[in-house]
């Protein structure tokens, strides 16, 4: 057994033996490509079910990301709150246990990729977007949220994750002073880079990015800028919009449904009654990628694939925000190839 495999097994045993019923994946060499100054990633949406073989599933998804040319995978997993006026954050039935999350991180790292971990507040009980959610007591809610995410920060550290996000898209209280306690608690157990991903959908939200999540975190952007440009003009439009972002900003989410007109509300999942327009999604992805280099940003993660998703099935009108086996995937591969530089 290699040293890396022995370390992976030790982490699994220490966290939860049941989560590691499948053998830890054997590390493989990183992709034979030049090192990139960018984070080139795929978002992995992780809603957990007890019957999942997480190691096997995430190994496939990480290998898929690697095949597209990615050098990182960002895991988003759900945390919950009771309602739009709730005072506490909680885990839920679809929240992976910390040890299961650690197994997912290990599977990603075994493919030669960096792993990031991001708690994402589910909108299931909110009745509104998480960007508008404002708990009845910000201090009380963040105190409970801190307790919820700390075991995941520990698991991310023990499994060797490179990045941990203290929060995402909680725009209504992103500058609350209590984020300092969240950051301090996570920093005490996680030595990698800390991020807070803020919502970006236009000039007003760009102005709100600095200071989101408080001191001690790097602000990333969940990139859903509203556009009236035609697909043929996405390139120059994206470059102009992203120029206003702070240099080095990582786009923690960049996604759009493959349907006509979705540039006007790119966060929308799409409509099952509307036909697909795969070329629109591909053009959007290519434009976001071009802006990354033109505007000296720090990286991009394309939204998304989910744990247990078939990876050889193209999107349908009911799954229009997916990109596997489609022109969107080809655009991602071309993006990562260009940003890695010549082989």
Tens of pLDDT, residue by residue over 20-31, are 444 444 544 444
| The pLDDT of residue 83 | 80
Q: Which residue has the higher pLDDT, 342 or 75?
A: 75
Q: What is the full DSSP assignment across 125-142?
A: TTSS-GGG---S-HHHHH
What pLDDT band is residue 81 in, cutting at 50, 70 and 90?
A: very high
| The pLDDT of residue 69 | 96
For the chain, what percent of residues have pLDDT higher than 70? 89
Q: Is the pLDDT of residue 258 over 70?
A: yes
Q: Which residue has the higher pLDDT, 149 or 18?
A: 149
Record the pTM.
0.90
> Is the bond preceding 118 in cis, omega lying within 30 degrees of 0?
no
Model confidence over 99-112: pLDDT tens digits?
999 999 999 999 99
| The pLDDT of residue 270 | 95
Q: Which residue has the higher pLDDT, 222 or 23?
A: 222
Tell me 189's DSSP state.
T
Instruction: Give per-residue burial for 143-171: e unless 16+ CB within 10 Å, then b.
Output: bbbbebbbbbbbbbbbbbbbbbbbbbbbb
Question: What are residue 303's phi and psi, to 5 degrees?
Answer: -95, 125
Mean local confidence (pLDDT), 257-269: 97
| The pLDDT of residue 88 | 95
Q: Is the pLDDT of residue 296 over 80?
A: yes
Tell me 111's DSSP state.
T
| The pLDDT of residue 287 | 98
Strands (E), 152-239: 163-168, 193-200, 218-223
């Amino acid at each position: 057994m290699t040293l890396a495999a022995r370390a992976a097994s030790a982490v699994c045993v220490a966290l939860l033996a049941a989560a590691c019923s499948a053998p830890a994946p054997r590390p493989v060499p990183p992709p034979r490509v030049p090192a990139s100054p960018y984070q080139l990633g795929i978002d992995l949406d992780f809603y957990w079910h007890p019957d999942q073989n997480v190691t096997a599933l995430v190994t496939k998804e990480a290998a898929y990301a690697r095949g597209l040319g990615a050098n990182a995978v960002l895991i988003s997993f759900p945390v919950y709150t009771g309602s739009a006026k709730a005072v506490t954050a909680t885990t839920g039935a679809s929240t992976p246990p910390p040890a299961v999350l650690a197994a997912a991180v290990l599977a990603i790292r075994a493919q030669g990729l960096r792993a990031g971990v991001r708690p994402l507040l589910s909108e299931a009980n909110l009745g509104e977007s998480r960007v508008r959610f404002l708990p009845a007591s910000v201090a009380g809610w963040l105190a409970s949220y801190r307790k919820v995410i700390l075991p995941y920060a520990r698991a991310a550290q023990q499994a060797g994750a490179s990045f941990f996000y203290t929060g995402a898209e909680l725009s209504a209280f992103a500058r609350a002073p209590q984020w300092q306690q969240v950051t301090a608690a996570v920093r005490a157990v996680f030595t990698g880079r800390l991020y807070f991903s803020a919502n970006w959908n236009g000039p007003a939200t760009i102005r709100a990015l600095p200071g989101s999540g408080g001191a001690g975190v790097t602000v990333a952007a969940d990139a859903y800028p509203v556009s009236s440009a035609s697909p043929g003009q996405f390139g120059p439009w994206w470059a102009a919009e992203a120029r206003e972002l702070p240099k080095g900003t990582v786009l923690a989410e960049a996604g759009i449904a493959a349907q006509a007109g979705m540039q006007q509300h790119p966060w929308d999942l799409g409509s099952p009654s509307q036909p697909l327009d795969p070329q629109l999604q591909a053009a959007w992805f290519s434009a976001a990628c071009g802006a990354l280099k033109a505007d000296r940003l720090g990286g991009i993660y394309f939204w998304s694939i989910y744990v247990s998703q078939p990876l050889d099935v193209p999107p349908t009108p009911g799954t229009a925000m997916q990109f596997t086996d489609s022109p969107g995937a080809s655009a991602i591969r071309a993006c990562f190839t260009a940003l890695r530089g010549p082989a």
